[in-house]
Amino acid sequence: MGILKKYFKQSATYKLYKGISGIFFDFVDTLGKITENGLEVIKFILKGEINRKELVEQCSRFGVSSLPITLTIVGMTSVIVASQVALEMVKQGGGHFIGMMMTILIIREVAVIMSGFAIISMIGSSLASELATMRVTEQIDAIKVLKVNPVSYLFIPRVLSGIIMMPFVTILAAAIGIIAGAVTSDMFAGLSYRAYFDSAWLGLYMKDLWVSLLKAVFFGGTIALISCSCGYFASGGAKGVGLATTKAVVWSFVAIVIWDMIFAIAFFF
């Protein structure tokens, strides 16, 4: 019996089972930790325990530092979409719908999703590696020794900065995307700026703007919370810092896609 058990543990089936079960338990554990930290963050925010100086610094980091890459990604995405669609729509007699289509697409999805991806890559990974380094170098333990709550001290400014700044980043990204679409439509399809912007408002409603901003609030808070949580629970030295950063990026990407699906079902179906 012992020999059979030994051979079974060396089999591909057992290794596959261990791999899948390990991934599942890691998923549940990570989700539980993020949820626990999220509830603590909400509790401290409701109590008003906010370090305003640190909040301003993190807002500058979250909003201003991420703008160049965010605006570049959204602008280039708009150029790519408009260059492939505008000429074909003009050929089919739908030129007067190009501005409307581009504006709805950018406001509802491109601006907020691409901004989220850019911020995850630049700010989310930075937050995760920062807190992971603090964990493996025992700086977080030192904060606890000083009788300061690490979640209140480290999480609140970062999560609030994401909630506050993400809508502003999204607004600027949307403006750049719409303008880039107009320029591209003019260059590739000969569509005048007036025709583009006249049609831009045909299918756009205030609901689209408010949903996009609400989505940005959830995206910003979620990215900051996941990144901080993954870094906060890091272990294992330099390798642990790398794993925590990777986990933060992957989880943040998945989370905002799930949020986007939830918003699409709730507001547009």
- Residue by residue, DSSP assigns 50-105 as --HHHHHHHHIIIIITTHHHHHHHHHHHHHHHHHHHHHHHHHTT-GGGHHHHHHHH
Map residue 157 onto helix, strand or coil: helix
How far, in Å, CA of 218 to CA of 206, rounded?
A: 19
Which pLDDT score, from 0 to 100, does residue 226 have? 94
How far, in Å, CA of 73 to CA of 169, rounded?
A: 12
User: What is the per-residue pLDDT across 24-34, written as a single tens digit (0 to 9) for each?
Assistant: 777 788 888 88
Which pLDDT score, from 0 to 100, does residue 31 have? 83
Whether residue 13 is predicted with pLDDT greater than 80 in this model: the reply is no
158 with 257: CB under 8 angstroms? Answer: no
Whether residue 265 is predicted with pLDDT greater than 80 in this model: the reply is yes
Long-range residue pairs from 56-59, CB within 8 A, at least 24 positions apart, any chain: 57/157, 58/157, 58/158, 58/160, 58/161, 59/161, 59/164, 59/165
Q: What does pLDDT average to over the chain?
A: 87
Q: What percent of the chain has pLDDT over 70?
A: 92
Whether residue 167 is predicted with pLDDT greater than 90 in this model: the reply is yes
Which pLDDT band, with edges at 50, 70 and 90, does 193 fall under?
A: confident
Residue type for position 253: F
User: What is the per-residue pLDDT across 109-137, written as a single tens digit (0 to 9) for each?
Assistant: 999 999 999 999 989 999 999 999 999 89
Among 26-35, 65-74, 219-228, 239-248, name the one with the lowest average pLDDT.
26-35
Most confident segment among 2-6, 48-52, 150-154: 150-154
Which pLDDT score, from 0 to 100, does residue 5 have? 63
Instruction: Give the tokens for residue 129.
Output: 């590696």
Whether residue 218 is predicted with pLDDT greater than 90 in this model: the reply is yes
Which pLDDT score, from 0 to 100, does residue 120 have? 93
Which pLDDT band, with edges at 50, 70 and 90, does 204 fall under?
A: confident
Which pLDDT band, with edges at 50, 70 and 90, does 1 fall under?
A: low
Which pLDDT score, from 0 to 100, does residue 138 have? 87
